[in-house]
Structure 1
Amino acid sequence: MQSKMSWRRLSHGESSAVLAVDFDSAVRPIAGFGQLVELMDFNRAFWHSRQPPSSTRDRLSAEEYLDHWAEVPHGGGNIDAVLGYCVGCVFAPALVERIEQVQGHRPELLLFDPEPAVVSSLYQDFRETVESVSILSGAEREQLVIEAGKACLDAGDDFDAAAAQVIELYEAAVSTAFARLSLDPVLIGEFTQVFRSYVSYLSAAAELSPEDGWQSGIALTARGSSPGARHARKELSFPVGSADLLRDRRVAETVFDLLSGGEH
Protein backbone atom coordinates (compact mmCIF):
# COMPACT_ATOMS: atom_id res chain seq x y z
CA MET A 1 0.00 0.00 0.00
CA GLN A 2 1.37 3.39 -0.95
CA SER A 3 2.00 5.65 2.03
CA LYS A 4 0.87 9.22 1.46
CA MET A 5 3.12 10.22 4.34
CA SER A 6 6.24 8.92 2.54
CA TRP A 7 5.88 10.18 -1.04
CA ARG A 8 4.35 13.15 -2.86
CA ARG A 9 3.28 12.76 -6.48
CA LEU A 10 4.89 15.20 -8.92
CA SER A 11 3.37 13.80 -12.10
CA HIS A 12 1.14 10.99 -13.35
CA GLY A 13 2.19 8.19 -15.66
CA GLU A 14 0.91 4.86 -16.88
CA SER A 15 3.99 2.74 -17.56
CA SER A 16 6.24 2.90 -14.49
CA ALA A 17 7.48 5.15 -11.72
CA VAL A 18 10.52 7.20 -10.74
CA LEU A 19 11.42 8.19 -7.18
CA ALA A 20 13.22 11.42 -6.33
CA VAL A 21 14.97 11.82 -2.96
CA ASP A 22 15.55 15.35 -1.70
CA PHE A 23 14.60 17.41 1.31
CA ASP A 24 10.97 18.41 0.78
CA SER A 25 10.67 22.14 1.46
CA ALA A 26 8.59 24.81 -0.22
CA VAL A 27 10.71 27.66 1.17
CA ARG A 28 14.06 26.63 -0.31
CA PRO A 29 15.09 29.04 -3.10
CA ILE A 30 17.02 26.54 -5.23
CA ALA A 31 15.34 24.50 -7.96
CA GLY A 32 13.83 21.15 -7.02
CA PHE A 33 12.57 18.06 -8.78
CA GLY A 34 9.19 19.69 -9.34
CA GLN A 35 10.78 22.12 -11.80
CA LEU A 36 12.67 19.31 -13.53
CA VAL A 37 9.50 17.29 -14.06
CA GLU A 38 7.72 20.32 -15.52
CA LEU A 39 10.31 20.40 -18.31
CA MET A 40 9.73 16.77 -19.34
CA ASP A 41 6.85 15.21 -21.23
CA PHE A 42 7.25 11.75 -19.82
CA ASN A 43 4.76 8.93 -19.38
CA ARG A 44 5.96 7.95 -15.93
CA ALA A 45 4.80 8.78 -12.44
CA PHE A 46 7.31 10.87 -10.51
CA TRP A 47 7.25 10.76 -6.72
CA HIS A 48 9.14 13.02 -4.32
CA SER A 49 10.25 11.86 -0.88
CA ARG A 50 8.53 13.30 2.18
CA GLN A 51 10.22 13.66 5.54
CA PRO A 52 9.05 11.52 8.46
CA PRO A 53 6.64 13.66 10.55
CA SER A 54 8.61 12.92 13.72
CA SER A 55 11.75 14.51 12.23
CA THR A 56 10.40 17.95 13.19
CA ARG A 57 11.05 17.17 16.86
CA ASP A 58 13.60 14.30 16.89
CA ARG A 59 16.80 13.53 15.02
CA LEU A 60 16.12 10.20 13.35
CA SER A 61 18.52 7.50 12.19
CA ALA A 62 19.29 6.65 8.56
CA GLU A 63 17.47 3.36 9.02
CA GLU A 64 14.33 5.19 10.14
CA TYR A 65 14.39 7.34 7.00
CA LEU A 66 14.89 4.33 4.76
CA ASP A 67 12.09 2.44 6.53
CA HIS A 68 9.85 5.48 6.00
CA TRP A 69 10.61 5.57 2.26
CA ALA A 70 10.65 1.79 1.77
CA GLU A 71 6.88 1.74 1.36
CA VAL A 72 7.23 2.89 -2.23
CA PRO A 73 4.25 3.88 -4.40
CA HIS A 74 3.17 1.18 -6.83
CA GLY A 75 0.30 2.93 -8.57
CA GLY A 76 2.56 3.70 -11.54
CA GLY A 77 4.04 0.20 -11.91
CA ASN A 78 7.60 -0.84 -11.19
CA ILE A 79 10.19 1.63 -9.96
CA ASP A 80 12.52 2.19 -12.93
CA ALA A 81 14.82 4.80 -11.42
CA VAL A 82 15.82 6.51 -8.19
CA LEU A 83 17.04 10.11 -8.41
CA GLY A 84 18.83 11.98 -5.66
CA TYR A 85 19.83 15.61 -5.25
CA CYS A 86 22.77 16.75 -3.12
CA VAL A 87 22.53 14.93 0.26
CA GLY A 88 19.51 13.02 -1.10
CA CYS A 89 22.06 11.11 -3.17
CA VAL A 90 23.42 9.62 0.07
CA PHE A 91 20.17 7.77 0.70
CA ALA A 92 19.54 6.80 -2.93
CA PRO A 93 21.85 3.72 -3.24
CA ALA A 94 20.40 2.12 -0.09
CA LEU A 95 16.89 2.76 -1.39
CA VAL A 96 17.83 1.19 -4.74
CA GLU A 97 18.99 -1.93 -2.89
CA ARG A 98 15.72 -2.22 -1.01
CA ILE A 99 13.64 -1.78 -4.16
CA GLU A 100 15.69 -4.38 -6.02
CA GLN A 101 15.03 -6.92 -3.26
CA VAL A 102 11.29 -6.34 -3.55
CA GLN A 103 10.73 -6.09 -7.32
CA GLY A 104 13.55 -8.32 -8.55
CA HIS A 105 15.35 -5.84 -10.82
CA ARG A 106 17.52 -2.87 -10.09
CA PRO A 107 16.32 0.69 -10.74
CA GLU A 108 18.61 3.13 -12.51
CA LEU A 109 20.47 5.55 -10.23
CA LEU A 110 20.86 9.22 -11.20
CA LEU A 111 22.81 11.51 -8.88
CA PHE A 112 22.41 15.29 -9.09
CA ASP A 113 25.35 17.10 -7.49
CA PRO A 114 25.97 14.23 -5.05
CA GLU A 115 27.34 15.44 -1.74
CA PRO A 116 28.05 13.60 1.51
CA ALA A 117 26.67 14.98 4.76
CA VAL A 118 29.58 16.43 6.73
CA VAL A 119 29.87 18.91 9.59
CA SER A 120 31.23 21.63 7.32
CA SER A 121 28.10 21.50 5.14
CA LEU A 122 25.93 21.82 8.26
CA TYR A 123 27.86 24.97 9.19
CA GLN A 124 27.42 26.39 5.68
CA ASP A 125 23.66 25.73 5.73
CA PHE A 126 23.35 27.37 9.16
CA ARG A 127 25.27 30.44 7.98
CA GLU A 128 23.05 30.87 4.93
CA THR A 129 19.92 30.46 7.05
CA VAL A 130 20.96 32.94 9.72
CA GLU A 131 22.08 35.53 7.18
CA SER A 132 18.51 35.57 5.86
CA VAL A 133 17.10 36.61 9.28
CA SER A 134 17.10 40.33 8.49
CA ILE A 135 15.49 41.39 11.79
CA LEU A 136 18.83 40.60 13.48
CA SER A 137 21.66 43.11 13.18
CA GLY A 138 24.71 42.33 11.11
CA ALA A 139 26.77 42.01 14.28
CA GLU A 140 24.28 39.57 15.79
CA ARG A 141 24.24 37.41 12.69
CA GLU A 142 28.02 37.44 12.56
CA GLN A 143 28.23 36.37 16.22
CA LEU A 144 25.85 33.47 15.63
CA VAL A 145 27.91 32.34 12.65
CA ILE A 146 31.11 32.54 14.72
CA GLU A 147 29.54 30.48 17.53
CA ALA A 148 28.28 27.90 15.06
CA GLY A 149 31.72 27.70 13.48
CA LYS A 150 33.32 27.08 16.86
CA ALA A 151 30.71 24.44 17.75
CA CYS A 152 31.28 22.63 14.47
CA LEU A 153 35.05 22.82 14.86
CA ASP A 154 34.88 21.47 18.42
CA ALA A 155 32.60 18.65 17.28
CA GLY A 156 35.13 17.36 14.76
CA ASP A 157 33.48 14.48 12.91
CA ASP A 158 30.72 14.09 15.51
CA PHE A 159 27.78 15.26 13.40
CA ASP A 160 25.19 14.77 16.14
CA ALA A 161 27.14 16.95 18.58
CA ALA A 162 27.42 19.72 15.99
CA ALA A 163 23.73 19.35 15.06
CA ALA A 164 22.59 19.77 18.68
CA GLN A 165 24.58 23.01 19.05
CA VAL A 166 23.47 24.41 15.71
CA ILE A 167 19.80 23.77 16.46
CA GLU A 168 20.19 25.50 19.82
CA LEU A 169 21.77 28.55 18.17
CA TYR A 170 19.08 28.70 15.50
CA GLU A 171 16.28 28.54 18.05
CA ALA A 172 17.95 31.34 20.03
CA ALA A 173 18.07 33.46 16.86
CA VAL A 174 14.40 32.78 16.13
CA SER A 175 13.42 33.61 19.73
CA THR A 176 15.16 36.98 19.44
CA ALA A 177 13.48 37.68 16.11
CA PHE A 178 10.04 36.77 17.52
CA ALA A 179 10.52 39.07 20.50
CA ARG A 180 11.44 42.02 18.28
CA LEU A 181 8.48 41.43 16.02
CA SER A 182 6.15 40.99 19.04
CA LEU A 183 5.10 37.56 17.79
CA ASP A 184 3.59 34.89 20.04
CA PRO A 185 6.52 32.83 21.44
CA VAL A 186 4.24 29.79 21.47
CA LEU A 187 4.70 29.71 17.69
CA ILE A 188 8.49 29.45 17.86
CA GLY A 189 8.45 25.66 17.90
CA GLU A 190 6.26 25.54 14.81
CA PHE A 191 8.48 28.05 13.03
CA THR A 192 11.67 26.07 13.70
CA GLN A 193 10.22 22.70 12.64
CA VAL A 194 11.53 22.91 9.09
CA PHE A 195 15.08 23.62 10.22
CA ARG A 196 14.98 20.85 12.83
CA SER A 197 13.68 18.43 10.20
CA TYR A 198 16.44 19.46 7.80
CA VAL A 199 19.14 18.92 10.43
CA SER A 200 17.64 15.51 11.20
CA TYR A 201 17.84 14.68 7.48
CA LEU A 202 21.52 15.68 7.35
CA SER A 203 22.30 13.86 10.59
CA ALA A 204 20.79 10.63 9.25
CA ALA A 205 22.69 10.94 5.98
CA ALA A 206 25.93 11.39 7.92
CA GLU A 207 25.55 7.80 9.18
CA LEU A 208 25.80 6.37 5.65
CA SER A 209 28.82 5.72 3.43
CA PRO A 210 27.34 5.88 -0.08
CA GLU A 211 30.54 5.96 -2.15
CA ASP A 212 30.41 2.28 -3.19
CA GLY A 213 26.75 2.60 -4.10
CA TRP A 214 27.42 5.74 -6.15
CA GLN A 215 29.68 3.70 -8.45
CA SER A 216 26.61 2.26 -10.19
CA GLY A 217 25.07 5.67 -10.85
CA ILE A 218 25.43 8.52 -13.33
CA ALA A 219 26.23 11.91 -11.83
CA LEU A 220 24.70 15.03 -13.38
CA THR A 221 26.56 17.99 -12.03
CA ALA A 222 26.50 21.77 -12.11
CA ARG A 223 29.48 23.97 -12.93
CA GLY A 224 32.43 23.00 -10.77
CA SER A 225 31.26 19.41 -10.21
CA SER A 226 30.46 18.15 -6.70
CA PRO A 227 32.30 16.24 -3.96
CA GLY A 228 30.68 12.89 -4.73
CA ALA A 229 30.71 12.95 -8.54
CA ARG A 230 34.13 11.28 -8.80
CA HIS A 231 32.65 8.11 -7.29
CA ALA A 232 29.98 7.72 -10.00
CA ARG A 233 30.58 5.46 -12.98
CA LYS A 234 30.06 8.47 -15.25
CA GLU A 235 29.72 12.23 -14.83
CA LEU A 236 27.74 14.55 -17.09
CA SER A 237 28.52 18.19 -16.36
CA PHE A 238 26.42 21.22 -17.30
CA PRO A 239 27.40 24.92 -17.54
CA VAL A 240 24.88 26.03 -14.93
CA GLY A 241 24.97 26.96 -11.25
CA SER A 242 23.97 24.37 -8.67
CA ALA A 243 20.84 26.32 -7.67
CA ASP A 244 19.55 26.08 -11.25
CA LEU A 245 20.58 22.51 -12.08
CA LEU A 246 17.08 21.08 -11.73
CA ARG A 247 15.42 23.77 -13.83
CA ASP A 248 17.79 23.66 -16.77
CA ARG A 249 16.24 22.38 -20.01
CA ARG A 250 19.48 20.69 -21.10
CA VAL A 251 19.50 18.71 -17.87
CA ALA A 252 15.84 17.75 -18.34
CA GLU A 253 16.52 16.55 -21.91
CA THR A 254 19.46 14.47 -20.71
CA VAL A 255 17.39 12.90 -17.93
CA PHE A 256 14.64 12.13 -20.42
CA ASP A 257 17.14 10.38 -22.69
CA LEU A 258 18.75 8.43 -19.85
CA LEU A 259 15.43 7.20 -18.52
CA SER A 260 14.35 6.29 -22.05
CA GLY A 261 17.34 4.03 -22.44
CA GLY A 262 19.58 6.49 -24.25
CA GLU A 263 23.16 7.38 -23.40
CA HIS A 264 25.13 10.61 -23.63
Structure 2
Amino acid sequence: MRGLAHWEELRSGDSGELILAVDTPPRGPAPSDFRELIPLLDTRHTVWRATESDRTHPRGTCLDEYIAPWTDEVRAAGLRVRAVLGYGVGGIFAGAIADGVGRDQGRTPEVLLFDPELVDSGTVVDEFRRLVSTVSHSLTGRALERLERESAALLADAGADDDAGALAIGLHGVLSQAIGDEPERVGSVAGMAGQALGLATARLSSLAIADAVNVVPLWSAGTALCSSSPDSGLNRTRSVLLLPDAALVGREILFEDRHAEVLRSTTVARMASELLGSSDA
Protein backbone atom coordinates (compact mmCIF):
# COMPACT_ATOMS: atom_id res chain seq x y z
CA MET A 1 0.00 0.00 0.00
CA ARG A 2 1.34 3.40 -0.99
CA GLY A 3 1.22 6.54 1.07
CA LEU A 4 1.94 5.00 4.47
CA ALA A 5 3.38 7.51 6.94
CA HIS A 6 4.03 5.36 10.01
CA TRP A 7 4.37 1.89 8.50
CA GLU A 8 6.29 0.34 5.65
CA GLU A 9 4.91 -2.59 3.70
CA LEU A 10 7.32 -5.52 3.79
CA ARG A 11 5.07 -8.01 2.07
CA SER A 12 1.94 -7.82 -0.04
CA GLY A 13 -0.58 -10.61 0.48
CA ASP A 14 -3.93 -11.66 -0.92
CA SER A 15 -5.75 -12.71 2.26
CA GLY A 16 -7.23 -9.29 3.03
CA GLU A 17 -5.67 -9.41 6.51
CA LEU A 18 -2.70 -7.65 8.04
CA ILE A 19 0.23 -8.73 10.17
CA LEU A 20 1.85 -5.81 11.99
CA ALA A 21 5.51 -5.94 13.06
CA VAL A 22 7.05 -3.66 15.69
CA ASP A 23 10.80 -3.66 16.37
CA THR A 24 11.20 -0.08 17.56
CA PRO A 25 12.93 1.25 19.59
CA PRO A 26 15.95 -0.84 18.52
CA ARG A 27 18.67 -2.01 20.90
CA GLY A 28 22.29 -2.78 20.17
CA PRO A 29 25.00 -1.47 17.84
CA ALA A 30 23.67 -3.38 14.82
CA PRO A 31 20.15 -4.44 15.77
CA SER A 32 18.16 -6.97 13.80
CA ASP A 33 14.69 -6.08 12.60
CA PHE A 34 11.70 -7.71 10.97
CA ARG A 35 13.02 -7.07 7.47
CA GLU A 36 15.13 -10.17 8.09
CA LEU A 37 12.34 -12.43 9.36
CA ILE A 38 9.38 -11.58 7.12
CA PRO A 39 10.83 -13.05 3.89
CA LEU A 40 11.26 -16.36 5.76
CA LEU A 41 7.60 -16.61 6.79
CA ASP A 42 5.07 -18.80 5.01
CA THR A 43 2.15 -16.40 4.91
CA ARG A 44 -0.51 -15.06 2.56
CA HIS A 45 -1.03 -11.97 4.70
CA THR A 46 0.18 -8.46 4.02
CA VAL A 47 2.87 -7.40 6.50
CA TRP A 48 3.49 -3.86 7.69
CA ARG A 49 6.48 -2.86 9.81
CA ALA A 50 6.27 0.17 12.12
CA THR A 51 8.69 2.95 11.25
CA GLU A 52 10.51 4.58 14.15
CA SER A 53 8.96 7.71 15.58
CA ASP A 54 11.00 10.92 15.42
CA ARG A 55 8.68 12.69 17.87
CA THR A 56 9.87 13.54 21.37
CA HIS A 57 7.29 13.00 24.11
CA PRO A 58 7.43 14.11 27.75
CA ARG A 59 7.37 11.45 30.43
CA GLY A 60 3.84 10.74 31.47
CA THR A 61 2.56 10.75 27.90
CA CYS A 62 -0.52 8.53 27.67
CA LEU A 63 0.34 5.21 26.00
CA ASP A 64 -2.69 5.45 23.71
CA GLU A 65 -1.54 8.90 22.62
CA TYR A 66 1.95 7.61 21.86
CA ILE A 67 0.78 4.70 19.69
CA ALA A 68 -2.04 6.67 18.01
CA PRO A 69 -0.13 7.46 14.78
CA TRP A 70 0.31 3.73 14.14
CA THR A 71 -3.16 2.59 15.21
CA ASP A 72 -4.91 5.46 13.41
CA GLU A 73 -3.25 4.51 10.13
CA VAL A 74 -4.27 0.87 10.54
CA ARG A 75 -7.85 1.92 11.26
CA ALA A 76 -7.92 4.15 8.19
CA ALA A 77 -6.76 1.28 5.97
CA GLY A 78 -9.84 -0.73 6.91
CA LEU A 79 -7.98 -4.04 6.97
CA ARG A 80 -8.47 -6.67 9.65
CA VAL A 81 -5.33 -7.32 11.71
CA ARG A 82 -4.60 -11.00 12.23
CA ALA A 83 -1.50 -10.67 14.43
CA VAL A 84 1.01 -8.22 15.85
CA LEU A 85 4.67 -9.21 16.10
CA GLY A 86 7.08 -7.56 18.52
CA TYR A 87 10.85 -7.76 18.92
CA GLY A 88 12.87 -6.84 22.01
CA VAL A 89 11.64 -3.68 23.72
CA GLY A 90 9.41 -3.23 20.67
CA GLY A 91 7.30 -6.03 22.13
CA ILE A 92 5.97 -3.53 24.68
CA PHE A 93 4.52 -1.30 21.98
CA ALA A 94 3.44 -4.33 19.94
CA GLY A 95 1.26 -5.43 22.84
CA ALA A 96 -0.20 -1.95 23.18
CA ILE A 97 -0.91 -1.67 19.45
CA ALA A 98 -2.59 -5.09 19.48
CA ASP A 99 -4.77 -3.95 22.37
CA GLY A 100 -5.71 -0.72 20.59
CA VAL A 101 -6.46 -2.48 17.31
CA GLY A 102 -8.50 -5.07 19.18
CA ARG A 103 -10.76 -2.38 20.61
CA ASP A 104 -11.40 -1.11 17.08
CA GLN A 105 -12.08 -4.41 15.36
CA GLY A 106 -13.76 -6.30 18.20
CA ARG A 107 -11.09 -8.99 18.46
CA THR A 108 -7.57 -8.65 19.79
CA PRO A 109 -5.00 -9.85 17.25
CA GLU A 110 -2.64 -12.63 18.20
CA VAL A 111 0.50 -11.30 19.87
CA LEU A 112 3.75 -13.02 18.90
CA LEU A 113 6.89 -11.78 20.65
CA PHE A 114 10.50 -12.44 19.67
CA ASP A 115 12.92 -12.17 22.59
CA PRO A 116 10.70 -9.58 24.32
CA GLU A 117 12.19 -7.58 27.15
CA LEU A 118 11.43 -4.70 29.45
CA VAL A 119 13.41 -1.48 29.65
CA ASP A 120 16.12 -1.47 32.31
CA SER A 121 18.80 1.05 33.23
CA GLY A 122 21.41 -0.94 31.30
CA THR A 123 19.29 -0.63 28.16
CA VAL A 124 19.08 3.13 28.62
CA VAL A 125 22.80 3.58 29.35
CA ASP A 126 23.90 1.48 26.38
CA GLU A 127 21.53 3.25 24.02
CA PHE A 128 22.54 6.70 25.25
CA ARG A 129 26.22 5.96 24.68
CA ARG A 130 25.50 4.79 21.15
CA LEU A 131 23.40 7.87 20.47
CA VAL A 132 26.12 10.20 21.78
CA SER A 133 28.71 8.55 19.53
CA THR A 134 26.37 9.24 16.61
CA VAL A 135 25.57 12.90 17.34
CA SER A 136 28.75 14.14 19.06
CA HIS A 137 30.29 15.22 15.74
CA SER A 138 27.37 17.63 15.35
CA LEU A 139 28.31 19.45 18.58
CA THR A 140 31.40 21.46 19.42
CA GLY A 141 32.95 23.42 22.26
CA ARG A 142 30.68 24.25 25.18
CA ALA A 143 27.84 21.95 24.10
CA LEU A 144 30.00 18.85 23.83
CA GLU A 145 31.79 19.62 27.10
CA ARG A 146 28.50 20.05 28.93
CA LEU A 147 27.08 16.86 27.43
CA GLU A 148 30.10 14.82 28.52
CA ARG A 149 30.23 16.34 32.02
CA GLU A 150 26.55 16.08 32.94
CA SER A 151 25.94 12.70 31.34
CA ALA A 152 29.01 11.30 33.12
CA ALA A 153 27.51 12.33 36.46
CA LEU A 154 24.21 10.59 35.69
CA LEU A 155 25.84 7.47 34.28
CA ALA A 156 28.18 7.14 37.26
CA ASP A 157 25.19 6.94 39.60
CA ALA A 158 23.15 4.56 37.44
CA GLY A 159 22.60 1.15 38.99
CA ALA A 160 20.89 -1.96 37.71
CA ASP A 161 17.89 -1.39 39.97
CA ASP A 162 17.48 2.32 39.18
CA ASP A 163 14.33 3.79 37.64
CA ALA A 164 15.09 3.30 33.94
CA GLY A 165 12.40 5.76 32.88
CA ALA A 166 13.76 8.51 35.13
CA LEU A 167 17.27 7.84 33.84
CA ALA A 168 16.09 8.09 30.23
CA ILE A 169 14.36 11.39 30.99
CA GLY A 170 17.46 12.70 32.76
CA LEU A 171 19.75 11.80 29.86
CA HIS A 172 17.23 13.20 27.41
CA GLY A 173 17.35 16.48 29.33
CA VAL A 174 21.15 16.55 29.30
CA LEU A 175 21.23 15.98 25.55
CA SER A 176 18.53 18.59 24.89
CA GLN A 177 20.33 21.18 27.02
CA ALA A 178 23.63 20.50 25.29
CA ILE A 179 21.99 21.00 21.93
CA GLY A 180 20.44 24.23 23.19
CA ASP A 181 23.87 25.57 24.17
CA GLU A 182 24.81 26.00 20.52
CA PRO A 183 21.64 26.77 18.57
CA GLU A 184 23.61 28.37 15.73
CA ARG A 185 25.75 25.27 15.35
CA VAL A 186 22.84 22.87 15.55
CA GLY A 187 20.76 25.03 13.24
CA SER A 188 23.47 24.83 10.62
CA VAL A 189 23.69 21.05 10.77
CA ALA A 190 21.92 19.70 7.72
CA GLY A 191 20.65 16.37 6.53
CA MET A 192 21.61 13.21 8.37
CA ALA A 193 23.33 14.93 11.29
CA GLY A 194 20.29 17.02 12.12
CA GLN A 195 18.04 13.98 11.82
CA ALA A 196 20.33 12.03 14.15
CA LEU A 197 19.95 14.68 16.85
CA GLY A 198 16.17 14.54 16.61
CA LEU A 199 16.11 10.74 16.58
CA ALA A 200 18.37 10.57 19.64
CA THR A 201 16.03 12.63 21.80
CA ALA A 202 12.97 10.80 20.42
CA ARG A 203 14.44 7.40 21.18
CA LEU A 204 15.21 8.29 24.79
CA SER A 205 11.66 9.53 25.29
CA SER A 206 10.35 6.28 23.75
CA LEU A 207 12.35 4.24 26.25
CA ALA A 208 10.93 6.32 29.10
CA ILE A 209 7.37 5.73 27.89
CA ALA A 210 8.00 2.00 27.42
CA ASP A 211 9.39 1.74 30.94
CA ALA A 212 6.10 2.98 32.41
CA VAL A 213 3.96 0.34 30.67
CA ASN A 214 2.48 -2.56 32.62
CA VAL A 215 3.05 -5.39 30.14
CA VAL A 216 1.25 -8.12 32.10
CA PRO A 217 -2.21 -7.53 30.59
CA LEU A 218 -0.68 -6.85 27.16
CA TRP A 219 1.44 -10.00 27.06
CA SER A 220 -0.75 -12.39 29.06
CA ALA A 221 -2.28 -14.03 25.98
CA GLY A 222 0.84 -13.70 23.85
CA THR A 223 3.46 -16.23 22.82
CA ALA A 224 7.18 -15.50 23.20
CA LEU A 225 9.80 -17.10 20.97
CA CYS A 226 12.92 -16.90 23.11
CA SER A 227 16.62 -17.19 22.34
CA SER A 228 19.22 -18.88 24.52
CA SER A 229 21.10 -15.61 25.19
CA PRO A 230 21.24 -14.83 28.94
CA ASP A 231 21.61 -11.08 28.37
CA SER A 232 18.62 -10.62 26.07
CA GLY A 233 14.87 -11.07 26.06
CA LEU A 234 13.01 -12.55 29.00
CA ASN A 235 16.28 -14.03 30.30
CA ARG A 236 17.66 -10.51 30.69
CA THR A 237 14.46 -9.10 32.18
CA ARG A 238 14.09 -11.85 34.78
CA SER A 239 17.74 -11.47 35.75
CA VAL A 240 17.37 -7.71 36.24
CA LEU A 241 14.14 -8.15 38.20
CA LEU A 242 15.67 -10.98 40.27
CA LEU A 243 12.55 -13.00 39.43
CA PRO A 244 13.79 -16.09 37.58
CA ASP A 245 10.34 -17.69 37.47
CA ALA A 246 8.27 -14.61 36.64
CA ALA A 247 5.38 -15.42 34.29
CA LEU A 248 5.51 -12.47 31.91
CA VAL A 249 3.81 -13.98 28.86
CA GLY A 250 1.11 -16.53 28.19
CA ARG A 251 3.41 -19.07 26.56
CA GLU A 252 7.13 -19.41 25.94
CA ILE A 253 8.90 -21.42 23.25
CA LEU A 254 12.66 -21.76 23.68
CA PHE A 255 15.22 -22.00 20.88
CA GLU A 256 18.93 -22.72 20.83
CA ASP A 257 19.52 -19.70 18.60
CA ARG A 258 21.29 -16.70 20.09
CA HIS A 259 19.55 -13.33 20.28
CA ALA A 260 21.28 -11.99 17.17
CA GLU A 261 20.06 -15.01 15.18
CA VAL A 262 16.39 -15.07 16.21
CA LEU A 263 15.03 -13.03 13.30
CA ARG A 264 17.30 -14.83 10.82
CA SER A 265 16.54 -18.36 11.95
CA THR A 266 14.56 -20.62 9.62
CA THR A 267 13.60 -22.72 12.65
CA VAL A 268 12.10 -19.70 14.40
CA ALA A 269 10.40 -18.57 11.18
CA ARG A 270 8.85 -22.01 10.70
CA MET A 271 7.42 -21.97 14.20
CA ALA A 272 6.14 -18.42 13.75
CA SER A 273 4.40 -19.44 10.53
CA GLU A 274 2.72 -22.34 12.29
CA LEU A 275 1.57 -20.12 15.14
CA LEU A 276 0.15 -17.60 12.71
CA GLY A 277 -1.72 -20.36 10.92
CA SER A 278 -0.43 -19.11 7.60
CA SER A 279 -0.19 -22.51 5.96
CA ASP A 280 -3.90 -23.16 6.55
CA ALA A 281 -5.10 -19.66 5.65
Cα gap change, 1:134 to 1:101, in 2 (>3 Å): closer
Q: Which string of whole-angstrom CA distances, capped at 9 and with x for unpartnered residues, describes residues 93-112 of structure 1?
A: 22222222211222111111
1:254 to 2:256 alignment:
no
Equivalent pairs counted in the alignment come to 248
Structure-1 separation of matches of 2:32 and 2:54: 23
CA offset digits 1:91-149 (Å, max 9, x no partner): 222222222221122211111111112333201322455578998xxxx9x98985442
Match of 2:256 in 1: 239
Determine helix, strand or coil for the equivalent of 1:231. Answer: coil
Q: TM-score w.r.t. structure 2 length? A: 0.72
8 Å contact from structure 1 (residues 13, 76) kept in 2: no
Partner residue of 2:170? Answer: 164
Of 10-19 and 95-104, the range deviating more from structure 2: 95-104
Unaligned runs of 5+ in 2: 138-144, 239-245
Q: Secondary structure at the match of 1:232?
A: coil
Q: RMSD of the alignment, in Å?
A: 3.8
**Distance of 1:260 and 1:239 partners within structure 2:** 23
Alpha-carbon distance in 1 for matches of 2:134, 2:260: 17
Which amino acid in 2 is paired with 1:190? Q
What SS is found at the alignment partner of 2:158?
A: helix
| Change over 3 Å in CA distance of 1:147–1:250 after alignment to 2 | farther
Pick closer, same or farther for the CA change 1:67–1:243 going to 2, 3 Å. same
Deviation by residue 1:53-82 (Cα, 9 ceiling, x = unmatched): 433xx4472332221221243658310001
Whether 1:68 and 2:69 are equivalent positions in the alignment is yes
Return structure 1 stretches of 4+ with deviation > 4 angstroms: 128-135, 142-146, 169-173
SS at structure 1 position matched to 2:116? coil
What one-letter code is carried by the residue in structure 2 that aligns with 1:100? Answer: G
Offset of residue 45 of structure 1: 0.8
Q: 1:171 to 1:242 in 2, by over 3 A?
A: farther
1:221 matches 2:226: yes
Aligned to 1:194: 199
- The one-character-per-residue Cα deviations of 1:3-29 (angstroms, maximum 9, x if unpaired) are 72222111111111101112177x962
Give 3-state SS (helix, strand or coil) of 2:47's partner.
strand
1:122-161 to 2 correspondences below 5 Å = 122-129=124-131, 146-150=152-156, 152-153=158-159, 156-157=162-163, 159-161=165-167
Identity %: 28
| Contact 1:78–1:103, Cα closer than 8 Å, also in 2 | yes
- TM-score by length of structure 1 reads 0.76
In structure 2, the CA distance between the partners of 1:76 and 1:253, relative to structure 1 (3 Å rule), is farther
- Preserved contact between residue 216 and residue 233 of structure 1 (Cα < 8 Å): yes
Quote the residue 2:45 is aligned against: 44
Equivalent in the alignment of 2:243 = none
Tell me the alpha carbon deviations over residues 169-210 of structure 1, each in whole angstroms, 9 at most, x when there is no partner: 59869x9xxx9xxx9963454332222221121111112111
Distance 1:89 1:154 in 2: 21
Q: What displacement does 1:154 show?
A: 11
